């Protein structure tokens, strides 16, 4: 099954697709699972929960938290986590809620937490392929995951309809969120998807950098 484990909805503030529409689009594109990880908000994944059951797609609850040193994903979490905590405190909060802590796009300049943070914190999973990260940096993330013996996840990081599902994790068929996450932790996932072209990747990076500058180089 295909699982896009990092997408955004309008609950992020900088994305254009409503939570229910995210599920509808990915279901139509042959996906069996999705994780809505909105910026510092669980509203998107909570809003889509009942519709996910209705159409038969697995929704992984989650949030993308802006820690003091970069973005950290939380899977299997439906409570908001304060932003601007240290990475260690953020990971601890995620674990206290029964969630899995994900090092998202660790090598991204504007919002990545960097290798040193990944190595010193108790992450459960590393995002090895991200739709808005260059191939070189995704390759570094994959190498980091292998060096630490941590399982991989992957996601489009979509903020618009056309971006949904362009990067995904291929997994054995699962029936629910818990079974899917056990499969991820067991290392059964394979990151796939072509992502952006070189020009598209450059444009995406420029857009992220401009947004970063507009925030006064403050993380989202």
pLDDT tens, residue by residue, 78-118: 999 999 999 999 999 999 999 999 999 999 988 999 999 99
Indicate the pairing of strand 70-75 with strand 62-67. Answer: antiparallel
Q: What percent of the chain has pLDDT over 70?
A: 88
Amino acid 194: pLDDT: 74
What is the pLDDT at residue 110?
Answer: 82
In the chain, the domains with their CATH numbers are 2-214 (3.20.20.140)
Q: Decide: residue 52, CB within 10 A, 0-12 exposed, 13-18 middle, 19+ buried.
A: buried
**Residue 136 has which token pair?**
């070189």
197 — pLDDT class (breaks 50, 70, 90): very low
What is the pTM for the complete model shown? 0.90
The CA distance from 94 to 79, in Å, is 9
Within 8 A by CB and 6+ apart from 42, the residues are 61, 62, 63, 77, 78, 79, 80
Confidence of residue 215 (pLDDT cuts 50, 70, 90): very low
What mean pLDDT value characterizes the chain? 92
Average pLDDT over every residue of 6-24: 97
Using pLDDT thresholds of 50, 70 and 90, give the confidence band for residue 200: low
How far is 151 from 124, CA to CA, in rounded Å?
A: 7
Q: What's the pLDDT at 33?
A: 98
């Amino acid at each position: 099954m295909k699982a896009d484990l990092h997408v955004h909805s309008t609950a992020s503030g900088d994305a254009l697709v409503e939570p229910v529409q995210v599920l509808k689009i990915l279901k139509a594109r042959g996906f069996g699972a999705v994780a809505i990880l909105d910026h510092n908000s669980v509203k998107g994944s909570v809003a889509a929960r009942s519709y996910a059951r209705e159409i038969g797609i697995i929704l992984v609850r989650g949030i993308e938290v802006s820690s003091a040193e970069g973005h950290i994903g939380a899977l299997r979490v439906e409570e908001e986590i304060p932003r601007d905590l240290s990475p260690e405190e953020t990971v601890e909060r995620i674990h206290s809620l029964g969630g899995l802590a994900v090092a998202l796009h660790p090598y991204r300049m504007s919002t990545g937490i960097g290798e040193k943070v990944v190595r010193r914190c108790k992450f459960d999973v590393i995002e090895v392929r991200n739709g808005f990260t260059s191939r070189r940096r995704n390759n570094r993330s994959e190498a980091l995951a292998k060096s630490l013996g941590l399982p991989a996840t992957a996601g489009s990081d979509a903020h618009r309809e056309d971006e949904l599902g362009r990067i995904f994790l291929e997994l054995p068929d699962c029936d629910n969120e818990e079974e899917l996450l056990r499969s991820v932790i067991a290392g059964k996932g394979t990151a796939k998807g072509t992502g952006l072209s070189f020009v598209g990747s450059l444009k995406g990076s420029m857009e992220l950098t401009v947004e970063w500058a507009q925030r006064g180089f403050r993380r989202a």
